Amino acid sequence: MKPTSPPQTIAIVGAGFSGTLVAAHLLSRAKTPLTVHLIERERSRFARGVAYSTTEDCHLLNVPAGNMSAFPEDREHFLRWAQAREAEMLDCACVGEVTAAAYLPRRAYGDYIAQILDEAERGAAPGVGLDRRIDEVASLKVEDGAVALRLVSGAQLRADRVVLALGNFRPGDPSGADGAFHRSARYHGDPWAPEVLARLLPTESCLLVGSGLTMVDWAITLNQAGYRGAIHVVSRRGLWPQSHKPGAPAAFGLEPSGKFGSVRNGLHSIRAFIRDTGTDWRSVIDALRPVTQTLWKGLGLSEQRRFLRHLRTFWDCHRHRLAPGIAARLGAMLDSGQMIRHVGRIHAFRDLGRRVEVTLRPRGSDRRYVLNVDAVVNCSGSESDYRRLDSPLVKDLLVQRLIRPDPLALGLDVADNGALIDAEGRPSAVLFTLGPPQKGRLWETTAVPEIRGQAAGLAVELLGG
Ligand SMILES: Cc1cc2nc3c(=O)[nH]c(=O)nc-3n(C[C@H](O)[C@H](O)[C@H](O)COP(=O)(O)OP(=O)(O)OC[C@H]3O[C@@H](n4cnc5c(N)ncnc54)[C@H](O)[C@@H]3O)c2cc1C
């Protein structure tokens, strides 16, 4: 049942883009006394999260500045912020212009989010305040319509409502390795851990497992740091993120139902449109963006499963594209021979003390070959199956049956208003989420253009409409 009185305390677990933006909206909107606890376990990620806490100048946004505003109703908000700091942006070797079409440093975007939070805090009504906490929420208990949170430091908090803005978890460990290899000093299971770069730089070769955007981050980071060693990349299909190219979304009309009906139909319509009109495929993918969530829901479970089985990797590398400058640098690293692509599966890893022996099986072959490298970095993409996460909080919530994975195990089961659904199928009146955990329900929910709308809507919901 929905609580009737406005909340006096709201706890937000996770201070990435999602959690920070909900906090900022709450602080700006609340008219009656309210304390917002914003809790982040990693100090460097406060108001930045995984994506925007990088300190590397050449880790660029993969969405143009003109579409990175934190506020859906003010599309140029980020662009104006960046243009007011043009000299600082241009100081970065990877930035050539500060226009709507520019790809700016993620580090700068972190500063932008942090500033939004500061301003919301300063402008809050009397009695409305922010409690910034560096701590990890270890468990929570729902009792008498409120929530008791236990933090790793031993502190306890009570909140009327809680937002789990848990975002992106480190990738699951790749197959072919056992627990002993996972503990090896030559294996870096968390690609976002701060110490990885210092440990890679003295090596003469490394293997990046996975060929998505995290691999790209690592290739660019190593290149920028002057790494001279060989960078091997392995992925099952050998597909890489494509480059952006300027162009407006195409006038790609959907059927009147606004549905594709089946994955096969959808693919057929897209291909036919590209073939018949000669439109660049990027413009067609971009035209789908505003309706992707509707299309996804219209597919139903079995077609969604079919999509994941056959098209997911193709979708990811066409939809999540690279800034053209980054794509050009990767191309040069491949042409120079420093970067070497392998297509296939990893059969085994062995830490031989001075090096790692990796046995690979090329795609479509029974052959095996061995690669010797000094280090292995797991770039296989954020783990989304909550049953496999090693987060104490997530484990606790699963044991208490307060959350359940969505049927595709892409995230959590979530109601339309952002309420978490428990193991019995009941939407919670006090536990909410937004962003990446909603992937099963919405598919397109992990990037700023989607999360900003969710954050504004959730703040209204939390304050009671
Ligand atoms: C490397 C990378 C680059 C990206 N680049 C872009 C881009 O250019 N443009 C774009 O639109 N999108 C991009 N994205 C997508 C990105 O998912 C979103 O933009 C957004 O940052 C997600 O924010 P979030 O707050 O939901 O998640 P996160 O950033 O993952 O934040 C969640 C936070 O919760 C904290 N946390 C988790 N559990 C607990 C706990 N128990 N207690 C306390 N704290 C906890 C974590 O430490 C983390 O900081 C990128 C994603 C990644 C991973």
Q: How many Å from the N-terminal Cα to the C-terminal Cα in the chain? A: 15
Give the pair of three-digit tokens for residue 101. Answer: 């079409």
Please tell me if the CB atom of residue 16 comes closer than 6 angstroms to any atom of ligand 1: yes
Residue that is written with structure tokens 């098209």 in the block: 311
Q: Could you give the 3-state DSSP secondary structure of residue 397?
A: helix
Please tell me if the CB atom of residue 433 comes closer than 6 angstroms to any atom of ligand 1: no
Model pLDDT, residue 256 = 46
Residue of 245, 235, 212, 410 whose CA lies nearest to 316: 212
CA-to-CA separations, 224 to 7, 51, 57, 197, in angstroms, rounded: 48, 18, 9, 11
Our CA dihedral for 335, 210, 92, 248, rounded to 10 degrees, sits at 90
Specify whether the CB–CB gap between 232 and 207 falls below 8 A: yes
Q: Could you give the 3-state DSSP secondary structure of residue 225?
A: coil
Write the residue with the smallest CA distance to atom 34 of ligand 1. Answer: 14
* Single-letter amino acid code for the residue at 381: G
Please tell me if the CB atom of residue 40 comes closer than 6 angstroms to any atom of ligand 1: yes
Write the residue with the smallest CA distance to atom 25 of ligand 1. Answer: 16
Please tell me if the CB atom of residue 436 comes closer than 6 angstroms to any atom of ligand 1: yes
Give the CATH superfamily of 173-242+321-380.
FAD/NAD(P)-binding domain (3.50.50.60)
Please tell me if the CB atom of residue 342 comes closer than 6 angstroms to any atom of ligand 1: no
Please tell me if the CB atom of residue 444 comes closer than 6 angstroms to any atom of ligand 1: no
CATH entry, 9-59+105-169+384-462, from 3.30.930.10, 3.50.50.60, 3.10.20.30, 3.40.50.170? 3.50.50.60
**Could you give the CA distance from residue 108 to residue 246 in angstroms, rounded to a whole number?**
22
Please tell me if the CB atom of residue 51 comes closer than 6 angstroms to any atom of ligand 1: yes
382 CA: nearest ligand 1 atom = 53
| Region(s) of the chain under CATH 3.50.50.60 | 9-59+105-169+384-462, 173-242+321-380
Per-residue pLDDT of the chain (465 residues; tens, 9 = 90+): 555 678 999 999 999 999 999 999 999 999 999 999 999 999 999 999 999 999 999 899 999 999 999 999 999 999 999 999 999 999 998 899 999 999 999 999 999 999 999 999 999 999 999 999 999 999 999 998 899 999 999 999 999 999 999 999 999 998 877 778 888 999 999 999 989 999 999 999 999 999 999 999 999 999 999 999 999 999 999 888 889 887 777 777 665 455 677 888 888 888 888 898 888 888 888 888 888 998 899 889 999 999 999 999 889 888 889 989 999 999 999 999 999 999 999 999 999 988 999 999 999 999 999 999 999 999 999 999 999 999 999 999 999 999 999 999 999 999 999 999 999 999 999 999 999 999 999 999 999 999 999 999 999 999 996
Q: How far is the CA of 435 from the centre of ligand 1 (A)?
A: 9
